[in-house]
């Protein structure tokens, strides 16, 4: 496996994996994939990664800002999606470790992730990479008419923002 940076040419494969996540009903509130322009605008320009196996994208991870306020410039939201046939094989862990590494190089001191409470594989993945649960948001939003609870997880850097 090789980890590389996302570019516009990768987007069709990224969308395919994102749609697989949407179909699980436990990965995102979204029901449709965004256009490249929407996706590009909503994610940080750095810290955009794809995992490649034999030249094919099998997963991706990226960061979004949590706020436009400058005091939160070192805080970002994690998005991570693994292709259906590649889940449970360590690809998510490799991507998340590299995302953490690159985020610290970019001066980001806190990563957060909002995960549906029933998405136990994602919760366990984040825990295995040093995230901890900092909150539980009951009935935070509707997904196809069903109220969903979210677990809020975060990872504080032990290198950035510790002064």
Q: Give the Cβ contact number of residue 140 at 10 Å.
A: 15
> How many Å separate Cα 132 from the centre of its chain?
15
Counted domains in the chain: 1
At residue 70, does pLDDT exceed 90? no
- Domain-located, residue 47: yes
Take residue 76 and report the two structure tokens written for it: 């970002």
- Domain-located, residue 62: yes
Count of H-run helices and E-run strands, the chain? 4, 7
- Domain-located, residue 74: yes
Domain that holds residue 29: 2-156
Take residue 143 and report the two structure tokens written for it: 């997904």
Q: What is the pLDDT of residue 15?
A: 97
Q: What is the pLDDT of residues 87-127, one digit of tens each?
A: 999 999 999 999 999 999 999 999 999 999 999 999 999 99
Q: What is the pLDDT of residues 129-145, one digit of tens each?
A: 999 999 999 999 999 99
Q: What is the pLDDT of residue 162?
A: 72
- Domain-located, residue 113: yes
DSSP structure string for 56-73:
EEEEEEEEEES-SSGGGT
At residue 163, does pLDDT exceed 80? no
- Domain-located, residue 119: yes
Supply the CATH number for residue 99's domain.
3.40.630.30
At residue 160, does pLDDT exceed 90? no
- Domain-located, residue 161: no
Cβ-Cβ contacts under 8 Å for 99 (sequence gap 6 or more)? 47, 49, 61, 62, 63, 78, 80, 111
- Domain-located, residue 150: yes
- Domain-located, residue 162: no
Average pLDDT, integer, range 33-40: 96
Place of tokens 């990563």: 111
The rounded distance, in Å, linking the Cα atoms of 10 and 33 is 14
Q: What is the pLDDT of residues 39-67, one digit of tens each?
A: 999 999 999 999 999 999 999 999 999 99
Q: What is the pLDDT of residue 7?
A: 92
């Amino acid at each position: 496996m090789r980890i590389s940076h996302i570019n516009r040419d990768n987007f069709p494969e990224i969308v395919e994996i994102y749609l697989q996540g949407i179909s699980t009903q436990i990965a995102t509130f979204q029901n449709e994939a965004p256009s490249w322009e929407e996706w590009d605008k909503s994610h940080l320009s750095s810290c955009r990664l794809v995992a490649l196996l034999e030249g094919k994208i099998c997963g991706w991870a990226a960061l979004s800002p949590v706020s436009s306020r400058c005091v939160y410039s070192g805080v970002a939201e994690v998005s991570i999606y693994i292709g259906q046939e590649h889940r449970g094989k360590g690809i998510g862990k490799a991507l998340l470790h590299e995302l953490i590494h690159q985020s610290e190089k970019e001066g980001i001191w806190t990563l957060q992730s909002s995960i549906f409470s029933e998405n136990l594989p994602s919760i366990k993945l984040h825990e295995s990479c040093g995230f901890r649960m900092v909150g539980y948001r009951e009935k935070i939003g509707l997904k196809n008419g069903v109220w969903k609870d979210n677990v809020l997880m975060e990872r504080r850097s032990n290198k950035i923002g510790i002064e």
